[in-house]
Structure 1
Amino acid sequence: MDLRIQRSVVSTLRTRPKAVEIGPFVAGFDPDTASPFVNYATPIPDVPITAADVDALIGAFTGAGRKPRLEYVVSTTPELEELLLGAGFTVEVRHRYLVCTPQTLTVPPVPEGLSLTEPTTDPQRAALSAATAEAFGALWEASEADVIRLRRSQERGGIAIAAFTASGECAGGGQATPPSDALCEVAGIGVREPFRRRGLAAAFTAEITRRAFDRGVDFAWLEASGGDSWRVYERIGYVPAGHRLYISKN
């Protein structure tokens, strides 16, 4: 499972507007944003890595005007962390990811007064992008580039779900990456403060996951940032699995 997920991350980065292969790494650069959450690299499984490879990776990020940063499943390249730390990288966070299968998924009801829809127009995509940015504490500013990335993902088979009130206000939503090796990542799950604690995150996470399974995905995976979100995802059928590392160099 760890290997399949890491391979899917590699495949996803290879679809970025400016994907670059640097020895045993794939870096996904986006010219429309300098966000480190969008621009990062990951190792290719089963390919040896040396300190010189890490230096080359740093050089590629520097040349692109981006912060050197990686995300990867730890078990697939266990020797990499020591090399990165030796090159001046700092661990941002370690996450344990969760997985769900069609057999374990439970789809809860949608909270009253809200409806779930897949954005099909750019204004709907913009509303979803703005709502999730707000839900994450404005760590980034929603922009036209977010709309473009979301539209591009949907065109390649990715899924997006937004929750709207009857008046058209977006309460939050989330996405799933285009399928790769019959799996996908569910990500960007965010609910705006006025709509929290009503079961909405569970509802649209389950709906995104259900739609992924309807499109032939074998299992979906996601990461939880804290105890509350863990409980949300476990209630709809996600179970803890492997570990991922986020690490960067200032």
Structure 2
Amino acid sequence: MDVRIQQSVVANLAARPMPVEAGPFLIGLDPSTESPGINYATPRPGAAITPADVTALVTAFRKADRQPRLEYVTSCSPSLESLLLTAGFVVEARHDYLVCTPDSVITPPAPAGFSLHEPATEEQRAALVRAQNDAFGGEPVAAEADVARLRRLQSNGGVAVMAVTGADICAGGGQAVPPNGAVSEVAGIAVREPYRQRGLAGAVTAAITNSLFTAGTEIAWLEASGEDAWRVYERVGYQPAGKRLYIAQD
């Protein structure tokens, strides 16, 4: 399972507008944003990595004017963390990832008063982006580049779902990246504060997951940001399967 998840991460980064090969690493670069959460690297699973490879990776990031940063499944490169720490990297977070399959998914109904559907217009995509930014504590705005990124995700086979109130307000939503090797990452599950504690997060997650499985995806995976999110995802059939590391150099 770990190898399939890590291979999917490599594929996701390869689909960035400007992917960069750096020895055993792949850097996914997007010129429309400097966000470290989008511009990061990952190792190819099982690749031999040396201190010189890490030095070359940092050089490639500096050349691109981006912060050196990696996300990866730890078991696929067990000796990498020590090399990165020696090179001045600092651990940001250690997360469990959870997986769901067509046999394990549980589908709760959408809460009363809300409808779930895929954004089909630029305004709907912008509404979803604004809702996600608001839910995650940012400004409730939607940059043109963010809307374009969501449109590209959908056109490439990814999934986006928005939760809309009867008054046509986007209360939240989420998305999943285009599947690769029948594996897809579900991410960005967000519900604005006034609409929480109603089951929306679970309903959105299940809707995205079912859409993936209907299209032939075999494994959906995600990460939980805390105990509350963990419980939401377990209720729709996700179970812990492995460990991932977030690590960056200032």
Deviation (angstroms), 1:112: 1.0
What one-letter code is carried by the residue in structure 2 that aligns with 1:230? W
Partner of 1:86: 86
Q: CA RMSD in A?
A: 1.1
1:11-22 matches, cutoff 5 A: 11-22=11-22
Deviation (angstroms), 1:139: 8.0
Partner of 1:96: 96
1:1-250 matches, cutoff 5 A: 1-138=1-138, 142-250=142-250
TM superposition outliers: structure 1 runs of 4+ over 2 Å = 139-142
Q: Secondary structure at the residue paired with 1:209? A: helix
CA distance in 1, matches of 2:93, 2:142: 24
Q: Secondary structure at the residue paired with 2:48? A: coil
Q: Secondary structure at the residue paired with 1:171? A: strand
Q: Secondary structure at the residue paired with 1:203? A: helix
Q: Secondary structure at the residue paired with 2:116? A: strand
CA distance in 1, matches of 2:217, 2:4: 13
CA distance in 2, matches of 1:191, 1:242: 26
CA distance in 2, matches of 1:102, 1:46: 28
Deviation (angstroms), 1:144: 1.0
CA distance in 2, matches of 1:89, 1:144: 32
TM-score, normalization by structure 1: 0.98
* Percent of aligned pairs sharing the same letter: 61
Alignment size in residue pairs? 250
Q: Which runs of 5+ in 2 are unaligned?
A: none
Q: Which runs of 5+ in 1 are unaligned?
A: none
CA distance in 1, matches of 2:219, 2:53: 33
CA distance in 1, matches of 2:122, 2:70: 30
